[in-house]
A and B are shown apart, each in its own frame.
Chain A
Amino acid sequence: MGSLESFWNEFSGWLPHVQLAHFLIVSAILFALGIYAIATRRNAIMVLMGVELVLNAANINFIAFSRYSADMNFDGQVAAIFVIILAAAEAAIGLAIVLNIYHRFQTVNVDEVSSLKE
């Protein structure tokens, strides 16, 4: 238990020093993971989840930039709220379309759904 305690002490000592760059790094990692999911996953649901990661990476950017801007402007926070709403709308429509695809093709694999020829 001692190691956890010392970790917590160190962590709480570091916490006030979180800077803009830390948020940007988290957001960049999230963005990269999202792109990775989009590029490698063949399941339509997984691809849509990758898109959600990208959108949330952008949201972290918006809020962090807004919080650390010199004049505390709220444009970024407002943008984040709108993006959350739009992401929900997009997920709803996306799932409806994927459900319809499942009815037609009995699969949600993006590669197998290709009756339209190259």
Chain B
Amino acid sequence: MSDRMLNDLSLFAPETAITLTLIAAILADLIFRRKPILVSAIVLAGFIVTGLLLLRQAGVNASIFSGMVAVDSFAVFFKTIVILAGILVVVFSMESGELNSPGRKLGEYYALLCAAALGMMLMAGASNLLMMYIAIELSSLSSYLLSGYTREAPDSSEASLKYLIYGAVSSGLMLYGISLLYGLSGSLDLATINRALPQVLAGGSAASFTLLIAGVLALAGFGYKISAVPFHFWTPDVYEGAPITITAFLSVASKAGGFAMMIRFFKVTFIDAGAAALPAGTWATLQGFHWVDLVAILAVLSMTIGNLVAVWQNNLKRLLAYSSIAHAGYMLTGVVVLSNEGLAAIMVYFGVYLFMNLGAFYCVMLIADKTGSEDIDEYRGIGARSPFLAVALAVFLVSLTGLPPTAGFVGKLYIFAALINGGWTWLAIVAALNSVIALYYYVRIFRNMFLRAAEPSSARITLSGVQNAALLVLLVPTLLLGIYFSPLVQLAQASVRLFGTP
């Protein structure tokens, strides 16, 4: 018994490390009041140690704490995304003018950041419905507070209120769905539910209708976490109002946690384990519950509405919010194909999305710190005022559009390939058309940056050494992964294995 517990704890080391970092951040804030840089350094070190501990878990395939949490290559991949995003966001936070205004203490900020990261890591591993709900709440509650952290700013306060209300409602709906699912199957464990469901579905149309309702309600919770239409209403307001560092963190880490949890939920619970004669690496939905169509509709809506509304936006943070809704749509199409190829495509996409999206937000943050505005019209002449920054932002935006030779192209390529191989050609066409719309609104930014002259009074923007280095750290992978992507693809293909599935 105790041996087992110790073994479980050793597999829980990354989460333990981030929890200790959380405590260290609070203590350091109390002890070193005069030296806020120390708190950031401690948290940065904590995130890096967590990342190193995660690397040691490569290839593990186990279930710990009586089936509550799965430690498998799939979870480790998404946890790594969360931690990498965390490391970069801590670096951003050290540079952010918005956060480092005089008189603001950042100890709580870093503690909440650790709590949110812990919640997202647990989301990636949770294999029990109760654990999933707790993980969602842990990451959500911390995120509500973080998005309102600059609380003297009305925008930030409003963002936290809207996030709170939409978040509370979706998690409530999800919980009701979970309770129905528990009633139908008599268990909260995903694998056990999967074994019980064929019998439930054989029970007649009332049972399958209840299962449909439970599935839709659970989808509300996931859809909110990954900001898919029609659960996206919070996204633009929160992304615009929250501090930019937090927006960047939510757009990558929160989405990664949400996707990992959603994929695990659907792939472990709602597939037909007894289906015969399937090609290797693919799986089938349960007879009588075709949730794939639901996810396909969500994907199409997210892509189309996200991209179309983005065209009208003048605030760059808000534009990136709609673009992130659209990206959630592209990634959802990878779930629809029901194959390991689709899962690997999502993971490749996340690998590149991490760098390009954080990079875009970092550029927006640097420009906003200097010009005090996120309005696209204020980007006139940035190309002349700071060539490196403008070129970097342009590369990130080209990558978000999905044009070669950037990493974004590779991400889209694998998604489209998975869709066409899976027989979803129409969905691939919709996704490709959407990329064209995306090009239109990104080009507007290029035009402002490079083709329109700045006002004569505007000065050059100079970046510090750390800022240049951080930009390079994001820029190099965005370009390199566009040309030399096989390591990422191999890593993704090796990481599709979920605990408890063949």
A interface residues (Cβ-Cβ under 8 A, vs B): 24, 31, 34, 38, 44, 47-48, 50-51, 54-55, 57-59, 61-62, 64-65, 69-71, 73, 75-76, 78-79, 82-83, 86, 89-90, 93-94, 96-98, 100-101, 104-105, 110, 113-117
Given contacts A69-B186, A100-B148, A110-B161, is CB(A54)–CB(B172) below 8 Å? yes
Q: Are B161 and A113 in contact (CB under 8 A)?
A: yes
Can you list 11 contacts pairing A with B, beta carbon distance less than 8 Å? A58-B172, A61-B176, A61-B180, A61-B182, A65-B182, A65-B186, A69-B186, A94-B168, A101-B161, A104-B154, A116-B159
Return the 8 tightest CB-CB contacts between A and B, nearest first.
A61-B179, A54-B172, A65-B183, A58-B179, A58-B175, A51-B168, A58-B176, A116-B237
Neighbouring B residues of A105 by C-beta, 8 Å: 154, 157-158
Q: Are B241 and A116 in contact (CB under 8 A)?
A: yes
- Within the complex, the shortest CB–CB distance from A82 to chain B, in Å, comes to 6
- Within the complex, the shortest CB–CB distance from B311 to chain A, in Å, comes to 14
Q: Is B134 an interface residue (CB 8 A)?
A: yes
Given contacts A65-B183, A97-B164, A116-B159, is CB(A78)–CB(B176) below 8 Å? no
- Within the complex, the shortest CB–CB distance from A115 to chain B, in Å, comes to 5
Q: Are B158 and A114 in contact (CB under 8 A)?
A: yes
B165's partner among A44, A59, A82, A83 (CB-CB below 8 A) is: A44
A interface secondary structure, majority: helix
- Within the complex, the shortest CB–CB distance from A111 to chain B, in Å, comes to 12
Q: Are A76 and B161 in contact (CB under 8 A)?
A: no
- Could you mark each residue 135-165 of chain B with 1 if its beta carbon is under 8 Å from any beta carbon of chain A, else 0? 0010001001100100100110111111011
Given contacts A79-B130, A101-B158, A116-B159, is CB(A48)–CB(B168) below 8 Å? yes
Q: Are B179 and A97 in contact (CB under 8 A)?
A: no
How many residues of chain B get a CB closer than 8 Å to chain A's CBs?
Answer: 39
Neighbouring B residues of A69 by C-beta, 8 Å: 186
Neighbouring A residues of B144 by C-beta, 8 Å: 93-94, 97
Neighbouring B residues of A94 by C-beta, 8 Å: 144, 164, 168
Neighbouring A residues of B180 by C-beta, 8 Å: 61
A79→B168 CA distance, assembly (Å): 17
Neighbouring B residues of A104 by C-beta, 8 Å: 151, 154, 157-158
A93→B186 CA distance, assembly (Å): 32
CB closest residue in chain B, given A53: B172
- Within the complex, the shortest CB–CB distance from A49 to chain B, in Å, comes to 11
Q: Are B141 and A93 in contact (CB under 8 A)?
A: yes
A94→B145 CA distance, assembly (Å): 9
Most A CB within 10 A of own CB, among B155, B169, B179? B179
Q: Are B186 and A70 in contact (CB under 8 A)?
A: yes
A117→B187 CA distance, assembly (Å): 45
A96→B108 CA distance, assembly (Å): 15
Q: Is B72 an interface residue (CB 8 A)?
A: no
B141's partner among A48, A64, A79, A89 (CB-CB below 8 A) is: A89
Besides A47-B165, A105-B157, A105-B158, 16 other A-B contacts (C-beta < 8 A): A44-B161, A50-B169, A54-B172, A58-B176, A58-B178, A61-B182, A65-B186, A76-B179, A82-B133, A82-B134, A90-B168, A94-B168, A97-B157, A100-B157, A104-B158, A110-B165
Neighbouring A residues of B176 by C-beta, 8 Å: 31, 54, 57-58, 61
Q: Are B137 and A90 in contact (CB under 8 A)?
A: yes
